[in-house]
């Protein structure tokens, strides 16, 4: 059996990101009504998957992933190997894709990009208070 191809690596890495995010967000869901807790959980998994996938596809590789509860919010951080800052672009129906960064910015309470060395860290914060 050979080495996994890029799509297998991406699936594995994104699955790890979703697992870590799920574990981090569950305590924040405890005080929310079930439908809102489910929405927060699903949004968190979407953001984590998209950020991990973008780091692999466009960011020169995933360097670090972390998800944690901090000050009552969920913080998802992804470091990659590219200094290029993602940009919101207008939707072009003739070009497939291009929705991920917009989705992350719409679902997260705040999104920041911090350049460092030869790469960057993208930090998305989801605020459970906005799901009440």
26-72: pLDDT as tens digits: 999 998 999 999 999 999 999 999 999 999 999 999 999 999 999 99
The whole-chain average pLDDT of the chain stands at: 90
Take residue 28 and report the two structure tokens written for it. Answer: 């924040």
Contacts of 67 (CB under 8 A, 6+ apart): 17, 20, 21, 23, 24, 25, 44, 48, 74, 75, 76, 77
Residues 1-10: what's their mean pLDDT? 55
Binning pLDDT at 50, 70 and 90, where does residue 7 land?
Answer: low
Q: What is the DSSP letter of 59?
A: S
> How many CB atoms sit inside 10 A of residue 116's CB?
10
Which one is the CATH code of 6-131: 3.30.1490.20, 3.30.565.10, 1.10.10.10, 3.30.830.10?
Answer: 3.30.565.10
- Domain residues of the chain, as ranges? 6-131
Q: What is the pLDDT of residue 132?
A: 78
Q: What are the pLDDT digits (tens) for 15-34?
A: 999 999 999 999 999 989 99
H or E segment and range at residue 93:
none
Residues 82-103: what's their mean pLDDT? 87
Please give the share of the chain, as a percent, with pLDDT higher than 70.
Answer: 93
Binning pLDDT at 50, 70 and 90, where does residue 97 land?
Answer: confident
Nearest of 92, 97, 82, 129 to residue 110 by alpha carbon:
129
CA–CA dist 116, 108 (Å, integer): 22
Nearest of 132, 64, 50 to residue 97 by alpha carbon:
50
How far does Cα 95 stand from its chain's mean position?
22
Whether the predicted pLDDT of 6 surpasses 60:
no
Binning pLDDT at 50, 70 and 90, where does residue 1 land?
Answer: very low
């Amino acid at each position: 059996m050979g080495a996994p191809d890029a799509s297998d690596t991406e699936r594995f890495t994104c699955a790890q990101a979703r697992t870590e995010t799920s574990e981090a967000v569950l305590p924040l869901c405890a005080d929310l009504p079930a439908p809102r807790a489910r929405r927060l959980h699903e949004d968190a998994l979407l953001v984590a998957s998209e950020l991990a996938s973008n780091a692999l596809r466009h960011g020169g590789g995933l360097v670090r992933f972390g998800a944690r509860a901090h000050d009552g919010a969920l913080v998802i951080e992804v470091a990659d190997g590219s200094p290029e800052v993602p940009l919101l672009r207008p939707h072009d129906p003739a070009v497939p894709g291009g929705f991920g960064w917009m989705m992350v910015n719409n679902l997260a309470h705040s999104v920041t990009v911090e350049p460092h060395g030869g790469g960057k860290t993208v930090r998305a914060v989801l605020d459970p208070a906005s799901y009440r």
